[in-house]
Amino acid sequence: MAVRSVPAFLEEMGYRPGRNLVLEQRYAAGRLERLPALARELVRARIDVIVAIGSAATRAARAASTTVPVVFLGNFDPIAIGLVKSLARPEANVTGVLIAPAGTLAGKKLELLKAAVPRATRIALLSHEDPGLRAQEQETDAAAVALGIALPVTRVVGGDYERAFTALVADRPDALFVGASTYFMRDRKRIIELAARHRLPAIYEWPEQVEEGGLMSYGSDLGATTRRVAQYVDRIFKGARPGDLPVEQPTELQLVVNLRTARALGLDLSPALLARAARVIE
């Protein structure tokens, strides 16, 4: 299933590129060090709003300007990293939508993965070089300690998934926890393929990752959160100040399970686990 973008949702609202909407898009292609220069380019282009995906891009946009509105989508604590004063009243030129409420759901996701793979005592965490994921690593590690699970961490550097999985598999994990990252959503096909190759039961953040072959996911609806980003952009176009728009958190979370993948991995998922699922893909 294709994941809809902010411009696609803006088009639904009546914005047409080349007519009443001009898009200036910049991609770092996994090279985080390029983000500050790209953000400064956008500011020099005199854009009206910057949409930033992830904490690194949001920090770069905020550093490039304290006046250009920035709307982010990501899984990080915007208060802890100094982007907003509070979720209710950001009081800055930054606001946005979080993909998980109150942390990263690490404890719940580890619990669900353990229920799917009861024998698992060693679960690998696939993380990323983006410093914004360090809080997620810490939260997941604390949850693993509470559950008595060893949690070796492997970070993807420079988009080299082959090397990351080679290092990850060397730790001989029983299962895989894929970090909540928009990078991993973008590269989901590659990750799902490598997890299947190494026969690793894996839990992801979004249903789209399960629809394309991942074992299970627990989190928010990425389409719904992306739509909210577009709605915030629309409100700013119409005169709203980002500092007055509360940072939103998702209120609905769902477990999605792919039974085809479970069978391919030789897993017999319990009726109790399946009963918790909002959707089972057969």
List pLDDT tens digits, range 215-251: 999 998 888 889 999 999 999 999 999 999 999 998 8
Which residue, among 29, 27, 2, has the nearest Cα to 160 in the 3D structure? 29
Residues 183 and 226 occupy one common structural domain:
no
Query: Does the pLDDT of residue 124 top 70, yes or no?
Result: yes
27 within domain boundaries? yes
pLDDT band at 29 (very low <50, low <70, confident <90, very high): confident
Q: How far apart are CA 160 and CA 129, in angstroms?
A: 11
Are residues 95 and 148 located together in one domain of the fold? no
Does residue 45 surpass a pLDDT of 80?
yes
Question: Do residues 73 and 171 share a domain?
Answer: no
Q: What is the pLDDT of residue 103?
A: 62
DSSP state of 123: E
Q: Is residue 131 part of a domain?
A: yes
pLDDT of 44 higher than 80: yes
**What are the tens digits of pLDDT across the range 160-200?**
999 999 999 999 999 999 998 888 988 999 999 999 999 99
Place of tokens 């770069």: 60
CATH of residue 45's domain is 3.40.50.2300
Do the domain assignments include residue 80? Answer: yes
The pLDDT-based confidence of 104 (bands split at 50, 70, 90) is: low
Contact between 222 and 206 (Cβ < 8 Å): yes
Q: How far apart are CA 30 and CA 164, in angstroms?
A: 14
Q: Are 118 and 56 within one domain? A: no
Sole residue written with tokens 């577009």: 230
Q: Same domain, yes or no, for 201 and 90?
A: no
Is 30 in the same domain as 44?
A: yes
Residue 88 domain-assigned (yes or no): yes
1, part of any domain: no
Per-residue pLDDT tens for 54-74? 888 999 999 999 999 999 998
Residue 2 reports pLDDT greater than 60: no
Residue 209 included in any domain: yes
**Dihedral Cα 137, 141, 144, 149, nearest 10 deg:** 100
Mean pLDDT of all residues belonging to the chain? 92
Q: Are residues 133 and 262 in the same domain?
A: yes
Looking at the fold, whether 22 and 85 belong to one and the same domain comes out as yes
Listed residue (131, 140, 206, 192) closest to 161, CA to CA: 192
Q: 92 is written with which tokens?
A: 């800055």
Residue 93: pLDDT over 70 = yes
pLDDT of residue 136: 86
Please report whether residue 267 resides in a domain.
Answer: yes
Q: How many structural domains is the chain composed of?
A: 2
Would you place residue 1 in the very low, low, confident or very high pLDDT band (cuts 50, 70, 90)? very low
Q: List the single range of 20-34, 58-72, 154-168, 206-220 with lowest mean pLDDT.
A: 20-34
- Predicted pLDDT at 254: 92
Q: Are residues 212 and 193 in the same domain?
A: yes
pTM recorded for the entire structure: 0.82
C-alpha closest to that of 178 among 96, 267, 75: 75
Dihedral pair phi/psi, residue 61, rounded to 5°: -65, -40
Is the domain of 212 the same as that of 158? yes
pLDDT at residue 121, rounded to an integer: 96
Share of the chain above pLDDT 70, in %: 98
| Domain region containing 39 | 6-99+221-244
Report whether 90 contacts 245 (CB < 8 A).
yes
Q: Is the pLDDT of residue 122 over 60?
A: yes
DSSP codes, 55-66: HHHHHHHHHH-S
Same domain, yes or no, for 120 and 213? yes
> Taking residues 34-45, what's their average pLDDT?
95
Residue in the structure block whose two tokens are 């803006």: 10
Q: In the prediction, which pLDDT does 51 show?
A: 96
SS3 144: helix
pLDDT value, residue 77: 85
Co-location of 227 and 185 in the same domain: no
Mean pLDDT of 242-264: 94
In a domain, 24, yes or no: yes
pLDDT at 102: 62
Residue with the bigger pLDDT between 130 and 117: it is: 117
